[in-house]
Each structure stands twice: as C-alpha cells, then as structure tokens.
Amino acid sequence: MSSMAERPPAAARARARAQVVATRVHGEPAQPRLEYQGLVTRGIAIAIDAAVVNGVAVVVVTAAGLVVSALSLPNGLDTALVALGAWVFLVWSAAYFVICWSSTGQTPGNRVMQIRVVRAKDGAALRPWRALMRLFGLMLAALPLFLGFLPILLNDRRRGLQDVIGGSVVVGAADAPGRRSPGSSRLNPG
C-alpha cells in the first residue's frame, strides 16, 4: 500500500481524524518566522561577489593583454581597446548580479552566506528588470557615503535603498520559496 489511493477508506478517515485531534491538542502548526538579513551578512556576501567579478576580470584582462601585446597595433587602437574593456567590465558586472538575482536569487557570495534576494510582495524570484533596478539602487546607496545602506539597520525588514528601488528583501536561504512549508508564501511575518 504505497499511495493514498490504494489505502482503504477507513485508514484515510483515521489519518484525517488523528490530524484533527493533534490540531486540537497542540494547536495550529507554527508558520516559520522569516529571518531578514542584516548589514554584516550582506556586506560579506557583496565582498565575495566583488572578488569573483574582479577575479574573472583580471584573468580576462591578462589573457587579452597577452594577445594584444603579441600584435602590432596602432596607438589609437590601444585607447579604443581600453575603452572597450571598460564597457565589457561594466556589462559583465551588471550581468553577473542581474542574472544571479533573477534566476536563483543568489549570487555566489549570497550562497556562501546562505542568503537569498526575493520579491518583497510575495517571495518569488526577482524579474530581470527589477534585478537591474536593484543594481542601480545598490550604486545609488553607495554614492552618498554609503548612507543608502543605513535603513538596513533601522527597519524591521532590513531593507536598504536598493531593496526599496528593486522591490526586494533579503532573507535566509532556508526561508526563501521552495524551502518553506506550504501556505507560508507571503513575506509579511504573521
């Protein structure tokens, strides 16, 4: 008797009755409390991500530099290659965060720190446009002496300027969708 359909109706009724009795005795099962992540955990994650982004960039620039040094190029082309390299770095950096946040909600740094970026309203993965807006907000938060990160210390949901702009929250990876029990999909702690 491996599935519910193969069990006799009496067994199914007994199981349902036992659940009702357990609920009366012990009450409703507690919904998991979301753990919104603070400034230090997020700071360590972004430092790891910066190391990954810059590490890949150093390897690519070194390889490109070796190839270019073997060629005989005019002086004007060197400047154009440096400008192209800067644009490629910016695109690579933005793509790294946008793709990670909109696909799994975790960059490698977030995975190490066991945190996840999700939509604030329902806990789902960010859409690519929202992930790009969050990245824009991250840059804005850093500009005025990192004051855009101050709200992380001051509000219950630990949302900084980048989270407000991107419509996101940062939660523990165990609290994110797919890891919680059914019926606890809302991100408003109850």
Answer yes or no: do 114 and 153 share one domain.
Answer: yes
Q: Evaluate whether residue 78 is within a structural domain.
A: no
Question: For the segment 107-156, what is each residue's pLDDT rounded down to a tens digit?
Answer: 999 999 999 999 999 999 999 999 999 999 999 999 999 999 999 999 99
Domain membership flag for residue 70: no
> Which residue range(s) make up the domain with 117?
39-47+96-175
Indicate whether 121 belongs to any domain: yes
Q: Is the pLDDT of residue 182 over 60?
A: no
Give tens-digit pLDDT for 76-89: 888 888 899 999 99
What is the Cα–Cα distance from 86 to 19, expressed in whole angstroms? 62
In a domain? residue 86: no
pTM: 0.75
Helix H, strand E, coil C: the string for 29-79 is CCCCCCCECCHHHHHHHHHHHHHHHHHHHHHHHHHHHHHHHHCCCCHHHHH
Average pLDDT rounded to a whole number, residues 86-104: 97
Judge whether 67 lies within some domain: no
pLDDT tens digits, 19-76 = 888 888 887 766 667 799 999 999 999 999 999 999 999 999 999 989 888 888 887 8
**Are 117 and 134 members of one domain?**
yes
Tell me: pLDDT of 95 over 60: yes
Locus of tokens 């357990």: 22
- Domains: count for the chain: 2
Alpha helices, DSSP H, located in the chain: 9-26, 39-70, 75-103, 108-113, 128-142, 150-154, 161-166
Task: Give the residue, 6 or 106, on which the prediction is more confident.
Answer: 106
Residues 102 and 141 in one domain: yes
3 is a domain residue: yes
Contact 127, 166 (CB under 8 A): no
Same domain, 25 and 113: no
Are 106 and 14 part of one and the same domain?
A: no
Is residue 129 domain-shared with residue 153, that is, in the same domain? yes
Say whether both 152 and 125 belong to one domain. Answer: yes
100 lies in a domain? yes
Q: Is residue 146 part of a domain?
A: yes
